[in-house]
Structure 1
């Protein structure tokens, strides 16, 4: 390398914006784990709520010209999480941040992606508009419930997949995972199930369901063979676990030997934990995109497992910061 090239490279390095990672209140353990993997400290900020329920956020360090990443998952209370994220984005832009990336491990409003009932809002698009209006320059997320929500954004979106994490987890649980069957709980999950089946080199099956009303879907048949085999049920999220119970019961009735479940987002609302505790499964695993408190793990009778996606998010943040390809993380 010539002296001039070395000089220009050094000058470019010196001009690179510093990498700054901050977190809202929804999932600080994941944000800290991401920072640990990156080898950078978690930035200092405070969030307060006034007596009138208004939120205020304050950064306790300079953000000027920084490459700022704000980690905030849309978990309970979801509205507070969204509002806090928008305030953090706006405050960062006001503090002269060079670029602001909203890191949203779980984008809960991705479920509202279409007008399937009269006089309703397509909330997935509305929240996307709000985040962009607040000043987000980029979005980093994982396993959107509806991939088309990606198109609601007019800024770049990096959409990570947990498929590799889920498949490696299954391999660790079952030595001969290739002899099992990946079961998609419905037609909407078949693409994800097919990818994981290829990663495991295993069989594939699907439950065919019929919608009988706007709110009720009933299973009609299981397409594939699960008799005497280990079954791996995969999905994007578990909320109340009603669909999970239904899927597990069908697999058991068709002769499944052992049942393992793995999803990206373990939301576990309402009766979910009680249902899982009484479910005839070996294990239910979810990623730490949503924080699962120890109390829920205990209540589930040891059936819950939490998979770490912090290294994947850290690699994506590092690649975005340096301008490297994010798609290489899916190889």
Structure 2
């Protein structure tokens, strides 16, 4: 797929959310990004102009919705509407990170289900398909009335750790919270390890405890969203207190909010592996972070969508040659 992809019936467009990743995905096809102009007026209104024909074309709009989340969602909705009015054949939205996915239920009285609201907006704007990476909960797919392909990052992390021979009985994959057990089990299957769980309790002051044997083991914490870093840092402290020899970590989406850099650098975590699904300033990157790209995985999914070939190999224990 690294050779030039001679197919004028497919075009990539990127908004401002994650331009470097969008370029990598296009390069997988030997293609360039389509031309469009995005500008903001003095009052904050967003204006978008597509500067080439998309009539009868399968279009793929690449937009991560990291900070500033709401601006990037507005860019996406306006771009979808522009594609629809320009007579694009299909409007495929590539969302490497789906913001608001954590608001997927009414946890307290009178709360909105914002993940559903965002899904409604994307569908009503005119999108025909969504391709995303590691939704916070897979059930969010059901909020859409169009096809949704939710790819998983565990094969990417497995390839990273297997290349370093971080496999077998000396290692334990650890979920830093009860809700992440399935994610930990998936990575453990790739690495032939056991799993453990950190129960951190409901409140920040709860001490928490470790379920499973981590004494004299090398632990790999696995999570989907790395925001403030508090969850991983507290989990790493509990693992060390329970006799863990070394602690590494991985997370699908590195939002790296304020103070995350200092918190992670001062933690017991040796290496934090994340994907490039979110774009953050280098000044917010902790020294112990390692980025791996999701471009080939997303590019392979785009190819299969465009050519109407099965997506199922991407959800199984796939041949990692294209990763």
TM-score with structure 1 length normalisation? 0.90
Equivalent residue for 1:166?
157
Q: Is the 8 A contact 1:23 1:70 kept in 2?
A: yes
Post-superposition offset of 1:178 = 5.0
Q: Which of 76, 82, 85 is equivalent to 1:94? A: 85
Pick from 111, 119, 126 the counterpart of residue 120 of structure 1: 111
Greater percentage in helix:
1
1:63 aligns with 2:51: no
- Corresponding residue to 1:28 among 19, 23, 26: 19
Q: Secondary structure of 1:289's partner?
A: coil
In structure 2, the residue matched to 1:310 is 295
Deviations 1:272-331 (A, max 9, x none): 11101111111111100001333233xx2x301111110000000000000011121132
Cα distance in 2 for residues equivalent to 1:256 and 1:103: 39
Instruction: Show the counterpart of 1:319.
Output: 304
Per-residue CA deviation, residues 45-79 of structure 1 (Å, 9 max, x unaligned), is: 11000011100011111000000000001111000
1:329 alignment partner, one of 295, 309, 314: 314
**CA contact 1:17–1:98 (8 Å) conserved in 2:** no
Across the two proteins, how many residue pairs are aligned to each other? 311
1:266 equivalent in structure 2: 254
Match for residue 282 of structure 2 among 294, 297, 302: 294
What CA distance in whole angstroms lies between the structure 1 residues aligned with 2:45 and 2:309? 39
Q: Distance in 1 between matches of 2:266 and 2:311?
A: 40
* Distance in 1 between residues matched to 2:295 and 2:310, nearest whole Å: 18
Query: For residues 142-161 of structure 1, what are the structure 2 equivalents within 5 Å?
Result: 142-161=133-152
Q: Structure 2 vs 1, CA of residues 278 and 80 (structure 1 numbering), >3 Å: closer, same or farther?
A: same
Of the three residues 255, 269, 276, the one matched with 2:264 is 276
1:257 paired with 2:242, answer no
Q: What is the CA RMSD across the aligned residues, in angstroms?
A: 1.6
Deviating beyond 6 angstroms after TM superposition, the runs of 4 or more aligned structure 1 residues are none
Partner Cα distance (1:219, 1:94) in 2: 55
**Greater shift in the superposed pair: 288-297 or 142-151:** 288-297
- Mapped partners of 2:246, 2:220: distance in 1: 9
Structure 1 residue matching 2:11: 3-state secondary structure:
strand
Partner of 1:221: 209
1:203 Cα deviation (Å)?
1.4
Structure 2 gaps of 5+ residues are 1-5, 319-323
Aligned pair partner of 1:238 in 206, 226, 233:
226
CA distance in 2, matches of 1:321, 1:220: 47
CA distance in 2, matches of 1:282, 1:224: 21
Structure 1 gaps of 5+ residues are 1-13
Contact 1:238 1:266 in 2 (8 A): yes
TM-score by length of 2: 0.93
Alpha-carbon distance change, 276 to 177 in structure 1, aligned in 2, over 3 angstroms: farther
